[in-house]
């Protein structure tokens, strides 16, 4: 068993190269991702089938997109990066080279578990340079969209509180608070799978979206019931929401803050990421 870093203070890279292959949720096409060590701080991405220099991933590349987080890298885009980025950042990795084929990161089982397993297969090793410095808050930040709210308040530790409130009986109201460490991320958050609603799934499929969705890579809710139980946690949906939040903050870096999110979405997470970034440029 791998020993995970105890916090997010030291710099870590991968001890070897590891890969995973699978179908993209939106494109329905097979894609492959290689993860490997890097001597430079940050996450660098290049395409296997193109002769291009690795691009350092940054929050400015994030584009709003329906149901997933997309990066625009020059003329190329890369869809559904959030679970992979959550796994890299959540496990404590600060220096990583990513190589991809295709334009979407595979969904795998809909959680970050297979990425965590890939990372633990090769293990972590100390990186040769320090990790990018963390954003320090002096006062609280607040962003909202409709009924959804996210706040970040100054804190020594990086902790998360998530609340969701769905009319569907199978989900209902769920609350989760966690102090994030690599160990906690791996055991409490990474295995939580993405979820959707039967009526929406049919609608999206009919519009040619989510071509790669199956009952093996997303929990599907039909009112008071799940179509494909068992759940991995009784509150798997809120855990997955926190996984998405971690993925959406991965490129900004985890702030010295407690983040509280009520009815989060990728757009709301991205709003907070943008507010956090303004603190860096001041």
Question: Total binding residues for Zn ion by CB under 5 A?
Answer: 2
Q: Which residues pair with 150 in a beta bridge?
A: 143, 261
Give 235 or 244: the residue with its C-beta nearer to Zn ion.
Answer: 244
Give 67 or 279: the residue with its C-beta nearer to Zn ion.
Answer: 67
Binding segment for Zn ion (CB under 5 A), chosen from 26-34, 53-61, 215-223, 240-248, is: 240-248
Q: Please give the distance of CA 52 from its chain centroid, rounded to a whole number.
A: 25
Give 95 or 193: the residue with its C-beta nearer to Zn ion.
Answer: 193
Contact 37, 125 (CB under 8 A): yes
Give the nearest distance from C-beta 193 to Zn ion in angstroms: 8
Q: Is 144 in the active site?
A: no
Taking the CA of residue 25 as centre, how many other CA atoms within 13 Å lie in the half-sphere pointing to its CB? 26
> Could you give the residue ranges of the DSSP H alpha helices within the chain?
82-90, 113-122, 182-184, 198-206, 236-249, 266-281
The phi, psi pair for 161, rounded to 5°, reads -130, 125
Binding segment for Zn ion (CB under 5 A), chosen from 2-10, 167-175, 242-250, 267-275, is: 242-250
Interface with Zn ion in residues 51-90 (CB under 5 A): none
Which of 114, 235, 244, 271 is in the footprint of Zn ion by CB under 5 A? 244
Give 135 or 164: the residue with its C-beta nearer to Zn ion.
Answer: 164
Listed in sequence order, the residues at least 6 apart from 257 whose beta carbon sits closer than 8 Å to its beta carbon are 135, 137, 152, 153, 154, 155, 158
The phi, psi pair for 260, rounded to 5°, reads -115, 125
Give the nearest distance from C-beta 243 to Zn ion in angstroms: 6
Which of 38, 194, 258, 265 is in the footprint of Zn ion by CB under 5 A? 194
**Which residues are catalytic, by number?**
266
Name the site residues for Zn ion (rule: CB under 5 A): 194, 244
């Amino acid at each position: 068993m791998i020993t995970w870093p105890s916090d997010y203070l030291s710099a870590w890279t991968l001890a070897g190269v590891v890969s995973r292959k699978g179908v993209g949720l939106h494109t329905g096409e097979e894609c492959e991702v290689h993860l490997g060590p890097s001597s430079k701080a940050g996450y660098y991405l290049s395409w296997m089938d193109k002769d291009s220099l690795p691009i350092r991933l940054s929050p400015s590349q994030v584009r709003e997109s329906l149901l997933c987080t997309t990066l625009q890298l020059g003329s190329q885009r890369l869809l559904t990066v959030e679970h992979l980025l959550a796994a890299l950042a959540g496990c404590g990795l600060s220096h990583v080279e990513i190589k991809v084929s295709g334009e979407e990161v595979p969904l795998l089982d809909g959680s970050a578990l297979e990425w965590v397993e890939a990372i633990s297969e090769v293990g972590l090793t100390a990186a040769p340079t320090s990790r990018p410095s963390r954003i320090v808050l002096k006062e609280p930040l607040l962003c909202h969209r409709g009924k959804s709210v996210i706040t970040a308040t100054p804190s020594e530790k990086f902790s998360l509180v998530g609340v969701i409130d769905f009319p569907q009986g199978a989900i209902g109201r769920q609350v989760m608070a966690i102090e994030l460490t690599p160990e906690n991320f791996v055991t409490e958050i990474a295995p939580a799978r993405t979820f959707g609603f039967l009526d929406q799934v049919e609608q999206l499929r009919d519009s040619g979206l989510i071509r790669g969705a199956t009952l093996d890579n997303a929990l599907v809710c039909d009112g008071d019931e799940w179509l494909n139980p068992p759940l991995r946690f009784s509150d798997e949906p809120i855990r997955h929401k926190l996984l998405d939040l971690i993925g959406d903050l991965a490129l900004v870096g985890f702030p010295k803050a407690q983040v509280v999110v009520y009815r989060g979405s990728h757009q709301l997470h991205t709003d907070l990421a943008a507010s956090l970034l303004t603190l860096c440029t001041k």
